Structure 1
Amino acid sequence: MDQFTPALPHGSLEEVFPDVFFVTGSMETVLQQMDWQFSRNMIVVRDGERLIVINSVRLDEDGLARLDQLGQVTDVVRLGCLHGRDDAFYVDRYKAQYWVLPGMESEVPAEAVRILSSDGPLPITDASLFVFATTGIPEGILRLERSGGILIACDALQNWHAPDEYFSDTSRALMQEMGFFTPANLGPVWMQAASPAGEDFTRLKALAFKHVLCGHGQPLYETAHSDFSDRFNRVFGV
């Protein structure tokens, strides 16, 4: 019997940049003693013949067949402390290396775990890592040196314009009230849990990027730097 959390409904893997793939699926969890159902995104980066899975979402058999057509999964990256539900499935299925930030708990066997750091090795050759320094929980963002600069975020940066088909009615209404459906946003639950300071966003704003792929919401193309810089200024005055 499969020991891992089951695959939930999801869409198809789409190539949003050369060798960068994006898929939206559903998440079911309990937060603040309430049942939630909403959408989340997985990003897959192809580096040669290797595939690096970021913000994992377990795919069904058809989705896994499509993934296997793209290359060989060799690495799984966890950028956010509040994600990770499906990481162990991919690490086990593909015997992949598992990359986490210091302080992240993991159910993956220790021999598969590698620690992410901004000055250490990364599984993607043209990537760099931004690590939040002021937060109460670990969180990072990858930057790809391609297409003018692509950020891959988890919970800190979100770009939900509107609820999609993966939301329950209850979660849709509640998250509307909480301000989740705001383009180029900072994740409301993440802000509460992480309590970041403005200095992190001053550093983030200094990076060169045009696009952002978030753990929640739609891809933000071309105007991502200016759109998120405006958000940082409104929230933190930086």
Structure 2
Amino acid sequence: MPQFPPQLPHGEFQEIFPDIFFLTGQIKVESDPISEFSRNMVVIRDGMDLTLVNSIRLNSAGLAALDHLGTVKAIVRLGGFHGRDDAFYLNRYQADLWTPEGMTFTRGEKTDQFLLDGQDGPIPGSSAFVFDTPELPEAILHLKCHGGILITCDSFQNMRGPDKYFNDHAAESKARLGFFKQAVIGPGWRKFAKPETNDVERVLELQFNHFLSAHGEPLLHDAYRAVALSVKGGDVS
């Protein structure tokens, strides 16, 4: 069996909306000192077909729960800083990998379908929003159900404070860098990917009420207002 990054702690699936599931787990960045913090995966079910967005490798009980939901058909990698566990799922399920153009890989993955701005995504009723200006690929999956749902990676985050997956170093550093804000434009993404202001502002052309990020809590029912406040009040240039 190919070697994949080790499985890390995670929680259980929550059904946020019918057929839309949310799971929080841990990511460990092998820096000095080591940084441990939380990340999220979204699973969308269409019939019995499953699409995994911002994948997290699950333990045996988690994989059994995933298989109980349906059959994994697609993996979506939205951001250049993510994708650690995609190869595990591609090997296990022979699913299609969807990414923005320009994505690079380290574990033999290849893009099967491109996420193209304004074009259909892997789920019926979904479309891709693709940023034009960052130095690394970054996209958002827009679902048109339930008044509109954005699924983001690093571009917009909703961490309100450290949770059980944080170590002390990550809690201190992310507080200092401004991560713990509602619907914040990702500080790390803003610093290293360098998106331009007018590119980020295009997000407000989408219709949505809810927002599920790779980092932070679900933001339900008031997401457009919160994102608009971040966009209009933030300096991302």
TM-score class normalised by the smaller sequence: over 0.9
Q: Compute the displacement of 1:202 (Å).
A: 2.4
Q: What does residue 43 of structure 2 align with? A: 44
Q: How does 1:59-208 map to 2 (within 5 A)?
A: 59-106=58-105, 107-110=107-110, 113-208=112-207
Q: What does residue 27 of structure 1 align with? A: 27
Q: What does residue 10 of structure 1 align with? A: 10
Partners in 2 of 1:225 and 1:23 — Cα distance? 22
Q: Structure 1: any 5+ residue segments left out of the alignment? A: none
8 Å Cα contact 1:42/1:53 also seen in 2:
yes
Q: Compute the displacement of 1:30 (Å).
A: 3.2
Q: What does residue 216 of structure 1 align with? A: 215
Question: Which deviates further from its counterpart, 58-67 or 98-107?
Answer: 98-107
Partners in 2 of 1:44 and 1:91 — Cα distance? 15
8 Å Cα contact 1:184/1:227 also seen in 2:
yes
**C-alpha RMSD over aligned residues:** 1.5
Deviations, residues 145-175 of structure 1 (Å, cap 9, x unaligned): 1110000000000000110000011111111
Counterpart secondary structure, 1:137: coil
Counterpart secondary structure, 1:227: helix
8 Å Cα contact 1:52/1:76 also seen in 2:
yes
TM-score, reference length from structure 1: 0.94
Question: Which deviates further from its counterpart, 182-191 or 120-129?
Answer: 120-129
Q: Structure 2: any 5+ residue segments left out of the alignment? A: none
Aligned residue identity for 2:38:
S
Partners in 2 of 1:122 and 1:230 — Cα distance? 27
Q: Compute the displacement of 1:7 (Å).
A: 1.1
Q: Compute the displacement of 1:109 (Å).
A: 4.4
Q: Compute the displacement of 1:119 (Å).
A: 5.0
Q: Compute the displacement of 1:118 (Å).
A: 2.3
Point out 4+ residue stretches in structure 1 off by more than 4 angstroms: none
8 Å Cα contact 1:104/1:138 also seen in 2:
yes
8 Å Cα contact 2:33/2:169 also seen in 1:
no
Question: Which deviates further from its counterpart, 20-29 or 201-210?
Answer: 201-210
Q: Compute the displacement of 1:35 (Å).
A: 2.0
8 Å Cα contact 1:91/1:108 also seen in 2:
no
Identify if the C-alpha distance between structure 1 residues 184 and 120 changes in structure 2 by more than 3 Å, giving closer, same or farther.
Answer: closer
Counterpart secondary structure, 2:145: coil
Deviations, residues 74-100 of structure 1 (Å, cap 9, x unaligned): 110000000000000011101111111
Aligned residue identity for 1:181:
F
Question: Which deviates further from its counterpart, 151-160 or 186-195?
Answer: 186-195
Q: How does 1:50-61 map to 2 (within 5 A)?
A: 50-61=49-60
8 Å Cα contact 2:42/2:52 also seen in 1:
yes
Identity of aligned residues (%): 44
Identify if the C-alpha distance between structure 1 residues 34 and 190 changes in structure 2 by more than 3 Å, giving closer, same or farther.
Answer: farther
Q: Compute the displacement of 1:61 (Å).
A: 0.4
Aligned residue identity for 2:153:
C
Partners in 2 of 1:88 and 1:7 — Cα distance? 13
Matched residue pairs, number? 235
Counterpart secondary structure, 1:147: helix
Q: Compute the displacement of 1:54 (Å).
A: 0.4
Partners in 1 of 2:129 and 2:35 — Cα distance? 29
Identify if the C-alpha distance between structure 1 residues 232 and 120 changes in structure 2 by more than 3 Å, giving closer, same or farther.
Answer: closer
